[in-house]
Structure 1
């Protein structure tokens, strides 16, 4: 039987993102309420300012660029307060927002611009050189590059705020909240390249209802803005747990921290809690679920150490192993039915068909188990990617935890002649362990790696 969320289900309104976020007559805040703060520049956006800037940009897209519903607007920039009005302006006129990694090289960006068929590109001064070269490579005109943020450009490009229209309102666009795309996301795919993942407006609204959007918090920002809740990544968690500079700031406002993006060791979570007094709740999610699936309950923090928490509202899960459903306590591929799940992989029906089964369940590829209280423990990956030359007979690659980076580094167990050096190390073995189904039980190697580290520590102390 599927495992259902213990929370009451939520009702997802059949409206687009603009209507849901900026046209709610019963909202709990006035027009001059500050919605966004850019700590680096001290710029702020109120509800009225956000709506006004977004409308002007949306009208500018329609009038000056002749933008149509479904046109993709790529964004390659670090966080800036300008992202908010640019995003909502594009969504207002039926555009598709495509956020890209601001660390991309020219070739990587060119590849994404081509596959997304982007009609325009937003970037900042620091990324402008790469943006211009990539745009030139794919035939995107220079006047289709717009700047966000501050700084003086070295190229004759416009700031996004100058793309305005004389019209007082944008032309009406009929948006189907269940079918029309809102976001086109890229992440590492099964071939080691980038996979296009399209989200419709319905998952966008579901995500807004399921989890608020927060970004990495620094000690300065937490103190000056009196932040109460934040979603943090492992390096920030490590800093909050161990960095001496943390003691120089007043972080008493922090009440609720959600480490995500990668597993954070229990020891670091306990140290953060003891140091800050805040509740530390693990969260499990993925890009395809935009992005949260589970989060720990406050009352379960002491009873579910190492868990990723319970299913969020309106989410169903089941565990499948070798085609059979697994009972509570057993391990299997985590499969989901989520209101904020992706529509599919962009222009890749084969990948979409492989990810969704005949009953509509999305197969995450994460191996996990549920306990009797509904807590999910993610224990492994169903399928990992490793590329090998023909000179290697067999190989298994695992992640070895490294404390300084608060992440895993790859370690290869190789039967053959290695030609690459991995930062996590290389171990030569007589045979790569496999179970009766021919699958590699990576946890056996993970435990072996832990034992090797313990033995190394003992020897160093002798």
Structure 2
């Protein structure tokens, strides 16, 4: 077994990759090219700098930035000293990021100074963050933050031997990351996973999709998302690929990069491939280098899969299903599966991972019958951070994770997703939980009750629609309300439509019946 295969922690993996792949390119950006050897040097320098800042084993360290090489350096550096990675969604507003920083007790934060017109340090100006001791700006000098180069020089005061001692304290059971995911209660929960389980499942994923040494991997999925992180840069480093970070989903830019950079691996949501196929100037670009595509959704058009092979030239196209609570991976199609199987299912379980569908009494249902999807295996989270009650609710005494998703298994174990969590919907690849949006809406002046559902959207799949019950004697201007929402929450959560009601449709238990709201929407459209 090679050192790459036997690595038990993410820093061990990069050290082995540096030895194995040496001067091969690990990351290429517009203004920088890092070999595997240089990436590992930077990782160690940044890790020593974190020791200089007295970051301890188990401390949480957050990263709030788009896809750039410093993100990867910072992530593996903090994991090298036994700290736990807390990624922050770049679309978050200050209050949303502040909540996660407080909830995780993050001691340090790596952040970008500005991205797409948003100044991230400014967003935190009014947030009370008593445990956050250090802020490091990954690019550009920012007042109140340690600059990246200045931060790296702190490592000069810490010996390599001191880092070696700290790294020895980190093992396969040590927490590697804390990814926050919203729940049906509306409060984001921190999902804890460890080094060893992540490396094991990523090794299997990488082998199944056929990543090769020298592959040129355009990573469009955000690094803060489990896919962009684990199936993205972590998988790429494991297999000796060259990472090409993409900060923004921009189809013309991507087409140009595929042609110029000779991209071979391009995972993404179905909208990515649909956008490429429908681009009016697609024939102007040479896409002949493309080989591997990985996507996932409740439904993928069969015709799109066929066209991806015949028109875009992909050799391997697979769909998959996963969730943060399972390290991001549960099922996957295998290379060679038919277009119908790829389009209509999310594949079958990873090795040593069990998947079943159960009825309302928790009893397994036969193939072909819909039921709640449950998962059991080494890939399940270590629990929700500081929330044993929610952990016990999610994982039962027999070790089954209750996903809340509904699906059907066939005789061969291929899974077809038929529904999502009761209320959850997906906007442009992001999970959206109505309860979380409703909590924010209730802060709007004059709103007595609020309910949110997902409605179809041609470009994003589904988007939020808000139903508002004004307080007695109050008037609510829906356009002003929608503008307020855009200031209060990440744009994928923002309602695109709002409808005022004279009364909320309630069931016998006094709860809003969202099926009635959907019928209202259909009647109004």
Contact kept? 1:72, 1:96, Cα under 8 Å: yes
1:243 and 2:279 aligned: yes
Which structure has the highest helix share of the two? 2
Length-normalised TM-score, structure 2: 0.71
Aligned to 1:5: none
SS at match of 1:164: helix
Q: CA deviation at 1:36?
A: 1.6
Aligned to 1:49: 38
Alignment partner of 1:163 out of 144, 147, 154 = 154
SS at match of 1:82: helix
Aligned to 2:353: 315
Query: 2:376 and 2:328 mapped to 1: Cα distance?
Result: 13
Aligned to 1:20: 13
Change (3 A) 1:20 1:14: closer
Length-normalised TM-score, structure 1: 0.80
Aligned to 1:8: none
Contact kept? 2:455, 2:464, Cα under 8 Å: yes
Query: 1:298 and 1:386 mapped to 2: Cα distance?
Result: 36
Query: 1:118 and 1:416 mapped to 2: Cα distance?
Result: 39
Aligned to 2:47: 58
Query: 1:280 and 1:383 mapped to 2: Cα distance?
Result: 29
Aligned to 1:99: 87
Q: CA deviation at 1:69?
A: 0.6
Contact kept? 1:414, 1:432, Cα under 8 Å: no
Q: CA deviation at 1:273?
A: 3.7
Aligned to 1:233: 269
Aligned to 1:408: 462
SS at match of 1:317: strand
Deviation larger for 103-112 or 134-143:
134-143
Q: CA deviation at 1:24?
A: 6.1
Query: 1:201 and 1:182 mapped to 2: Cα distance?
Result: 5
Which ranges of 4 or more aligned residues in structure 1 deviate by more than 6 Å?
388-392, 412-421, 424-428, 430-434, 438-442, 448-453
Q: CA deviation at 1:311?
A: 1.8
Query: 1:56 and 1:204 mapped to 2: Cα distance?
Result: 24
Q: CA deviation at 1:360?
A: 0.5
Query: 1:450 and 1:257 mapped to 2: Cα distance?
Result: 35
Structure 1 segment 294-373 matched on structure 2, within 5 A = 294-304=331-341, 305-322=343-360, 323-373=362-412
Q: CA deviation at 1:368?
A: 0.3
Q: CA deviation at 1:285?
A: 1.4
SS at match of 2:165: coil
> What is the alpha-carbon root mean square deviation over aligned residues?
3.9
SS at match of 1:337: strand
Query: 1:307 and 1:427 mapped to 2: Cα distance?
Result: 39
Change (3 A) 1:413 1:251: same
Query: 1:449 and 1:44 mapped to 2: Cα distance?
Result: 54
Query: 2:186 and 2:467 mapped to 1: Cα distance?
Result: 19
1:3-45 C-alpha deviation (Å, 9 max, x unpaired): xxxxxxxx985722212332369x7x4311111222x33x121
Aligned to 2:204: 210
Aligned to 2:134: 144
- Which runs of no fewer than 5 residues in structure 1 stay unpaired? 1-10, 457-462
1:54-85 C-alpha deviation (Å, 9 max, x unpaired): 111111111x2112111111100011011222
- Which runs of no fewer than 5 residues in structure 2 stay unpaired? 207-216, 221-245, 247-253, 424-432, 483-494
SS at match of 2:72: helix
Contact kept? 1:14, 1:177, Cα under 8 Å: no
Q: CA deviation at 1:379?
A: 0.5
Contact kept? 2:453, 2:514, Cα under 8 Å: no
1:34 and 2:70 aligned: no
SS at match of 2:66: coil
Q: CA deviation at 1:325?
A: 0.9
Change (3 A) 1:126 1:391: closer
Query: 2:337 and 2:497 mapped to 1: Cα distance?
Result: 34
Query: 1:204 and 1:74 mapped to 2: Cα distance?
Result: 19
Q: CA deviation at 1:426?
A: 6.5
Change (3 A) 1:139 1:335: closer
